[in-house]
Amino acid sequence: MNINQAFTILQQAGGIRAARIITQNNKKLSRLRVFFIARQLRRGMPVAKIIHQKWFYGLSFYTNRHTLDPRPDTETLVSAVIADAADGMRILDLGTGSGCVLVSLVKNIYGANGVGVELSRAAARVARRNIACHVPGRASVLRRSYHSRHIPGTPFDVIVSNPPYIARGDSRVNSGAMHDPALALYASDNGYYEYGVIAKNARDWLRPDGCVYLEIGDGMSDRVCKIFKDAGWGFVRAEKDLAGIVRVLVFKK
Protein backbone atom coordinates (compact mmCIF):
# COMPACT_ATOMS: atom_id res chain seq x y z
CA MET A 1 0.00 0.00 0.00
CA ASN A 2 1.44 3.39 -0.95
CA ILE A 3 1.65 6.26 1.50
CA ASN A 4 -1.21 8.24 -0.05
CA GLN A 5 -3.60 5.30 0.23
CA ALA A 6 -2.54 4.75 3.85
CA PHE A 7 -3.01 8.44 4.62
CA THR A 8 -6.55 8.45 3.23
CA ILE A 9 -7.63 5.41 5.25
CA LEU A 10 -6.09 6.73 8.46
CA GLN A 11 -7.58 10.20 7.92
CA GLN A 12 -11.04 8.69 7.59
CA ALA A 13 -10.49 6.72 10.81
CA GLY A 14 -8.87 9.33 13.03
CA GLY A 15 -8.63 12.68 11.31
CA ILE A 16 -5.96 14.48 9.33
CA ARG A 17 -3.64 15.19 12.27
CA ALA A 18 -3.52 11.55 13.34
CA ALA A 19 -2.95 10.42 9.76
CA ARG A 20 -0.11 12.89 9.31
CA ILE A 21 1.69 11.90 12.51
CA ILE A 22 1.39 8.17 11.88
CA THR A 23 2.52 8.29 8.26
CA GLN A 24 5.41 10.61 9.09
CA ASN A 25 6.65 8.08 11.64
CA ASN A 26 5.99 5.06 9.42
CA LYS A 27 6.93 5.54 5.79
CA LYS A 28 6.38 1.86 4.98
CA LEU A 29 3.04 0.54 6.17
CA SER A 30 1.62 -2.80 5.08
CA ARG A 31 -2.03 -3.02 4.16
CA LEU A 32 -2.71 -5.17 7.22
CA ARG A 33 -0.93 -2.69 9.50
CA VAL A 34 -2.87 0.27 8.10
CA PHE A 35 -6.24 -1.38 8.72
CA PHE A 36 -5.16 -2.46 12.20
CA ILE A 37 -4.16 1.12 13.09
CA ALA A 38 -7.38 2.47 11.57
CA ARG A 39 -9.35 0.14 13.84
CA GLN A 40 -7.39 1.40 16.87
CA LEU A 41 -8.13 5.01 15.90
CA ARG A 42 -11.86 4.30 15.58
CA ARG A 43 -11.77 2.85 19.09
CA GLY A 44 -10.38 6.16 20.35
CA MET A 45 -6.84 5.03 21.00
CA PRO A 46 -4.49 8.05 21.24
CA VAL A 47 -1.88 8.35 18.50
CA ALA A 48 0.90 8.24 21.11
CA LYS A 49 -0.20 4.77 22.14
CA ILE A 50 -0.03 3.64 18.52
CA ILE A 51 3.38 5.08 17.62
CA HIS A 52 4.77 4.69 21.19
CA GLN A 53 6.04 8.26 21.27
CA LYS A 54 4.91 11.46 22.96
CA TRP A 55 6.64 14.83 23.19
CA PHE A 56 6.79 16.49 26.59
CA TYR A 57 8.76 19.55 27.66
CA GLY A 58 10.76 19.47 24.43
CA LEU A 59 11.74 15.81 24.72
CA SER A 60 10.46 12.69 22.99
CA PHE A 61 9.34 9.95 25.39
CA TYR A 62 8.57 6.29 24.82
CA THR A 63 5.09 5.40 26.01
CA ASN A 64 2.85 2.35 25.92
CA ARG A 65 -0.35 0.97 27.42
CA HIS A 66 1.26 0.60 30.83
CA THR A 67 1.79 4.35 31.36
CA LEU A 68 -0.11 7.59 31.15
CA ASP A 69 0.67 9.54 28.01
CA PRO A 70 2.47 12.75 29.07
CA ARG A 71 0.01 15.65 28.94
CA PRO A 72 0.62 19.37 28.36
CA ASP A 73 -1.05 20.22 31.68
CA THR A 74 1.72 18.39 33.50
CA GLU A 75 4.34 20.70 32.00
CA THR A 76 3.04 23.23 34.55
CA LEU A 77 4.38 20.94 37.28
CA VAL A 78 7.82 20.81 35.69
CA SER A 79 7.95 24.57 35.16
CA ALA A 80 6.99 25.23 38.78
CA VAL A 81 9.92 23.18 40.06
CA ILE A 82 12.39 24.67 37.59
CA ALA A 83 11.36 28.18 38.66
CA ASP A 84 12.62 27.41 42.18
CA ALA A 85 15.47 25.08 41.27
CA ALA A 86 18.96 25.05 42.71
CA ASP A 87 21.94 23.43 41.00
CA GLY A 88 22.57 19.85 42.03
CA MET A 89 19.22 19.30 43.73
CA ARG A 90 17.96 15.80 44.49
CA ILE A 91 14.42 15.06 43.30
CA LEU A 92 11.95 12.38 44.37
CA ASP A 93 9.12 11.66 41.92
CA LEU A 94 6.21 9.74 43.42
CA GLY A 95 4.35 7.59 40.88
CA THR A 96 6.83 8.31 38.12
CA GLY A 97 5.00 6.41 35.34
CA SER A 98 6.81 7.07 32.06
CA GLY A 99 9.39 9.14 33.95
CA CYS A 100 8.59 12.24 31.90
CA VAL A 101 8.48 14.61 34.89
CA LEU A 102 11.64 13.29 36.54
CA VAL A 103 13.58 13.18 33.27
CA SER A 104 12.49 16.69 32.25
CA LEU A 105 13.59 18.10 35.61
CA VAL A 106 16.95 16.34 35.69
CA LYS A 107 17.57 17.32 32.07
CA ASN A 108 16.84 21.01 32.69
CA ILE A 109 18.37 21.57 36.14
CA TYR A 110 22.17 21.70 36.20
CA GLY A 111 23.66 18.83 38.17
CA ALA A 112 20.30 17.52 39.34
CA ASN A 113 19.65 13.86 39.98
CA GLY A 114 16.61 11.97 41.09
CA VAL A 115 14.69 8.86 42.01
CA GLY A 116 11.31 7.81 40.68
CA VAL A 117 9.02 5.57 42.75
CA GLU A 118 6.68 3.37 40.74
CA LEU A 119 4.50 0.44 41.84
CA SER A 120 3.85 -1.00 38.37
CA ARG A 121 6.64 -3.26 37.11
CA ALA A 122 5.74 -2.53 33.46
CA ALA A 123 5.63 1.24 34.00
CA ALA A 124 8.97 1.12 35.83
CA ARG A 125 10.50 -0.51 32.75
CA VAL A 126 9.20 2.36 30.59
CA ALA A 127 10.63 4.95 32.99
CA ARG A 128 14.03 3.25 33.00
CA ARG A 129 14.02 3.22 29.20
CA ASN A 130 13.33 6.97 29.07
CA ILE A 131 15.96 7.68 31.72
CA ALA A 132 18.55 5.68 29.78
CA CYS A 133 17.69 7.65 26.65
CA HIS A 134 17.82 11.16 28.09
CA VAL A 135 19.65 11.27 31.46
CA PRO A 136 21.67 8.07 31.87
CA GLY A 137 23.30 7.74 35.25
CA ARG A 138 21.46 10.73 36.73
CA ALA A 139 18.19 9.09 37.76
CA SER A 140 16.89 5.71 38.86
CA VAL A 141 13.57 3.99 39.51
CA LEU A 142 12.49 2.15 42.65
CA ARG A 143 9.66 -0.31 42.12
CA ARG A 144 7.60 0.12 45.25
CA SER A 145 4.58 1.94 46.62
CA TYR A 146 5.00 5.37 48.15
CA HIS A 147 2.40 4.24 50.68
CA SER A 148 5.41 2.69 52.43
CA ARG A 149 7.15 5.25 54.62
CA HIS A 150 10.62 3.89 53.82
CA ILE A 151 12.20 5.36 50.69
CA PRO A 152 15.94 4.67 50.28
CA GLY A 153 18.17 7.66 49.64
CA THR A 154 16.24 10.18 51.71
CA PRO A 155 16.22 13.06 52.36
CA PHE A 156 15.53 14.87 49.07
CA ASP A 157 15.45 18.57 48.24
CA VAL A 158 12.20 18.38 46.30
CA ILE A 159 9.31 15.98 45.95
CA VAL A 160 7.10 16.03 42.87
CA SER A 161 4.02 13.99 42.10
CA ASN A 162 1.23 13.69 39.57
CA PRO A 163 -0.75 11.12 41.54
CA PRO A 164 -4.01 9.44 40.56
CA TYR A 165 -6.73 11.99 41.27
CA ILE A 166 -9.79 11.06 39.22
CA ALA A 167 -12.90 9.83 41.02
CA ARG A 168 -14.34 6.67 39.52
CA GLY A 169 -17.32 7.48 37.36
CA ASP A 170 -16.16 11.03 36.64
CA SER A 171 -17.92 11.99 33.40
CA ARG A 172 -15.11 14.40 32.44
CA VAL A 173 -12.74 11.54 31.58
CA ASN A 174 -12.21 11.56 27.82
CA SER A 175 -12.09 8.51 25.58
CA GLY A 176 -8.30 8.69 25.26
CA ALA A 177 -7.89 8.12 28.99
CA MET A 178 -9.75 4.84 28.63
CA HIS A 179 -6.53 3.47 27.14
CA ASP A 180 -4.41 4.59 30.11
CA PRO A 181 -3.81 2.29 33.09
CA ALA A 182 -6.50 2.68 35.75
CA LEU A 183 -3.85 2.49 38.48
CA ALA A 184 -2.43 5.81 37.28
CA LEU A 185 -5.80 7.55 36.92
CA TYR A 186 -8.26 6.70 39.66
CA ALA A 187 -8.17 7.25 43.41
CA SER A 188 -10.66 6.57 46.16
CA ASP A 189 -12.19 9.23 48.40
CA ASN A 190 -13.49 11.02 45.27
CA GLY A 191 -9.94 11.32 43.95
CA TYR A 192 -8.31 12.71 47.10
CA TYR A 193 -6.92 9.58 48.77
CA GLU A 194 -3.39 9.74 47.36
CA TYR A 195 -2.95 13.35 48.50
CA GLY A 196 -3.64 12.23 52.05
CA VAL A 197 -0.99 9.52 51.77
CA ILE A 198 1.60 11.97 50.44
CA ALA A 199 0.75 14.58 53.08
CA LYS A 200 1.28 11.95 55.78
CA ASN A 201 4.49 10.35 54.50
CA ALA A 202 6.41 12.97 52.52
CA ARG A 203 7.70 14.92 55.53
CA ASP A 204 10.03 11.99 56.28
CA TRP A 205 11.57 12.20 52.81
CA LEU A 206 12.38 15.91 52.61
CA ARG A 207 15.20 18.10 53.89
CA PRO A 208 14.11 20.66 56.51
CA ASP A 209 13.63 23.42 53.91
CA GLY A 210 12.24 21.13 51.20
CA CYS A 211 9.03 21.54 49.21
CA VAL A 212 6.50 19.21 47.62
CA TYR A 213 4.99 20.06 44.21
CA LEU A 214 1.70 18.40 43.30
CA GLU A 215 -0.43 18.26 40.19
CA ILE A 216 -4.15 18.44 40.96
CA GLY A 217 -7.39 18.22 39.01
CA ASP A 218 -9.76 21.03 38.20
CA GLY A 219 -11.56 22.26 41.33
CA MET A 220 -9.46 20.25 43.80
CA SER A 221 -7.37 23.11 45.19
CA ASP A 222 -9.31 23.91 48.37
CA ARG A 223 -9.58 20.38 49.67
CA VAL A 224 -5.98 19.43 48.83
CA CYS A 225 -4.82 22.56 50.64
CA LYS A 226 -6.85 21.52 53.68
CA ILE A 227 -5.41 18.00 53.61
CA PHE A 228 -1.86 19.35 53.66
CA LYS A 229 -2.47 22.12 56.17
CA ASP A 230 -4.12 19.62 58.54
CA ALA A 231 -0.99 17.47 58.21
CA GLY A 232 1.22 20.40 59.25
CA TRP A 233 2.44 21.62 55.87
CA GLY A 234 2.76 25.28 54.95
CA PHE A 235 1.15 26.51 51.73
CA VAL A 236 3.58 28.24 49.34
CA ARG A 237 1.67 28.98 46.15
CA ALA A 238 -0.57 27.73 43.36
CA GLU A 239 0.26 27.61 39.64
CA LYS A 240 -2.27 27.76 36.78
CA ASP A 241 -2.00 25.89 33.51
CA LEU A 242 -2.43 27.49 30.08
CA ALA A 243 -6.21 27.20 30.39
CA GLY A 244 -6.17 29.26 33.60
CA ILE A 245 -6.98 26.25 35.81
CA VAL A 246 -5.11 25.82 39.10
CA ARG A 247 -2.99 22.80 38.23
CA VAL A 248 -0.10 22.77 40.71
CA LEU A 249 0.11 23.34 44.47
CA VAL A 250 3.36 23.86 46.35
CA PHE A 251 3.80 23.14 50.06
CA LYS A 252 6.79 23.51 52.36
CA LYS A 253 7.82 21.22 55.16
pLDDT for 172 equals 64
Residue 63 is assigned to a structural domain of this protein: no
Tell me, yes or no, whether 235 lies in a domain: yes
Mean pLDDT of 34-59: 91
> Do 127 and 23 fall within a single domain?
no
149 and 105 housed in the same domain:
yes
Return all residues near 27 (Cβ < 8 A) that are at least 6 apart: 3
pLDDT digits (tens, 9 = 90+) for 4-27: 888 888 888 889 988 888 888 777
Judge if 35 and 140 occupy the same domain. Answer: no
Q: Is residue 67 part of a domain?
A: no
Average pLDDT, the chain: 92
C-alpha to C-alpha distance for 52 and 237, rounded to whole angstroms = 35
Domain membership flag for residue 24: yes
Cα–Cα distance measured from residue 94 to residue 196, given in angstroms and rounded to the nearest whole number: 13
- Asked if the model's pLDDT at residue 28 lies above 90, the reply is no
**Alpha-carbon span 211 to 23, nearest angstrom:** 44
User: pLDDT higher for 238 or 21?
Assistant: 238
Range of the domain at 28: 3-43
Task: Note whether residue 50 is domain-resident.
Answer: no
Same domain assignment for residues 89 and 176:
yes
Whether 248 and 124 map to the same domain: the answer is yes
Residue 105 pLDDT > 90? yes
Give me the pLDDT at residue 170, please: 73
Give 122-181 pLDDT, tens digit per residue.
999 999 999 999 999 999 999 999 998 889 889 999 999 999 999 877 756 666 677 888
Report pLDDT for 176.
Answer: 63
Q: Is the domain of 158 the same as that of 214?
A: yes
- Residue 90 maps to a domain: yes
Is residue 242 assigned to a domain? yes
In this predicted structure, what is the pLDDT of residue 175? 62
Based on the domain organization, do 91 and 15 belong to the same domain?
A: no
Instruction: Find all residues with CB under 8 Å of 87, minimum gap 6, and list them.
Output: 109, 110, 111, 112
Lowest mean pLDDT among 51-55, 97-101, 115-119: 51-55
> What is d(CA 212, CA 158) in angstroms, rounded to the nearest whole number?
6
| Percent of the chain whose pLDDT exceeds 90 | 71
- 147 and 37 within one domain: no
Where residue 114 sits, what CATH number does that domain have? 3.40.50.150
**Residues 76, 39 share a domain:** no
Do 197 and 145 contact (CB within 8 A), yes or no? no
Statement to judge: residues 15 and 114 lie in one domain: no
Is the pLDDT confidence value at 97 over 80?
yes
Judge if pTM exceeds 0.85. Answer: yes
In this prediction, residues 192-219 reach a mean pLDDT of 96
Q: Is residue 49 part of a domain?
A: no
Give the tens place of pLDDT for each residue, 242-251.
999 999 999 9
**Total structural domains in the chain?**
2
If asked whether residues 39 and 139 sit together in one domain, one would say no
